[in-house]
């Protein structure tokens, strides 16, 4: 039974989808869109959405993405990405306890700045959000410089995917990245990867 990812690419589902592409694993996207994008998400002809009872039976939180891996169901995009890397191994996955701890640490760190990154993307007081991000950006910039351009194991890992997909929201704040040259070089390299490019091409093909 192939891996199922419930959601759409105009959501945080980009994270596990990018991971799946990097890992070369088969997966199926079950289209689920956000209820707020619909005039009446409860209408009989409404597409499957986050308010649909059939989706709420899978994820009672009513959020996307969710994952079904041969009967194992879990939610939260960043956690799904960590699971996929841990299960399928290879260079994307943490090698040993310390790398696993670091991947988890940087993923939680990314969660801590996600709201401000989203504020920039959604133009909700972006200047104030960018100012709040300067200190954590300096921390990440120094870590990238000290660790060979990545945060775990001196190589591209699942931690880079989780971080890059959160920081992508802040990219309209160009000055923030220009002040952190290691972050700028790192995110450019991440977004140049074929798996990211393929994921974004599919995302752009979805209805806005």
The pLDDT assigned to 73 comes to: 98
pLDDT at 1 over 80: no
CB 141 within 8 A of CB 183: yes
Rounded mean pLDDT of 187-205? Answer: 98
CATH 3.40.30.10, the chain: domain bounds: 3-90
Structural contact between residues 38 and 16, judged by C-beta atoms closer than 8 angstroms? no
Map tokens 């133009």 to a residue: 123
Provide the CATH number for the domain formed by 3-90 in this structure. 3.40.30.10
Q: Is 123 helix (H, G, I), strand (E, B) or coil?
A: coil
Would you place residue 7 in the very low, low, confident or very high pLDDT band (cuts 50, 70, 90)? very high
Task: Verify cis geometry, omega within 30 degrees of 0, for the bond prior to 30.
Answer: no
Burial 151-166 (b: 16+ CB within 10 A, else e): bbbeebbbbbbbbbbb
Domain span(s) for CATH 1.20.1050.10 in the chain: 97-196
Mean model confidence pLDDT for the chain: 97
Q: Is pTM beyond 0.95 here?
A: yes
Unique residue bearing structure tokens 């100012």? 131
Identify the CATH assignment for 97-196 out of 3.30.70.260, 3.40.50.720, 1.20.1050.10, 3.40.50.2000. Answer: 1.20.1050.10
* CA separation for the pair 59, 182 (Å, rounded): 38
84 with 139: CB under 8 angstroms?
Answer: no
pLDDT, position 208? 86
């Amino acid at each position: 039974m192939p891996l199922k990812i419930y959601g759409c690419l105009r959501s945080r589902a980009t994270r596990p989808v990018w991971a799946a592409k990097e890992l070369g694993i088969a997966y199926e996207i079950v289209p689920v869109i956000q209820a707020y994008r619909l005039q009446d998400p409860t209408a009989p002809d409404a597409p499957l959405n986050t308010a649909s009872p059939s989706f709420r039976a899978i994820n009672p939180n009513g959020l996307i993405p969710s994952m079904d891996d041969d009967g194992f169901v879990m939610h939260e995009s960043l956690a799904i990405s960590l699971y996929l890397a841990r299960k399928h191994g290879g260079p994307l996955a943490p090698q040993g306890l310390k790398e696993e701890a670091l991947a988890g640490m940087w993923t939680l760190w990314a969660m801590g700045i996600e709201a401000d990154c989203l504020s920039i993307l959604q133009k909700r007081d972006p200047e104030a959000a960018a100012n709040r991000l300067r200190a954590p950006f300096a921390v990440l910039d120094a870590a990238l410089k000290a660790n060979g351009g990545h945060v775990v194991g001196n190589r591209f890992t699942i931690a880079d995917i989780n971080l890059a997909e959160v920081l992508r929201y802040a990219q309209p704040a160009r000055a923030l990245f220009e002040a952190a040259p290691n972050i700028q070089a790192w995110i450019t390299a991440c977004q140049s990867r074929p798996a990211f490019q393929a994921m974004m091409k599919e995302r752009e093909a979805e209805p806005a």
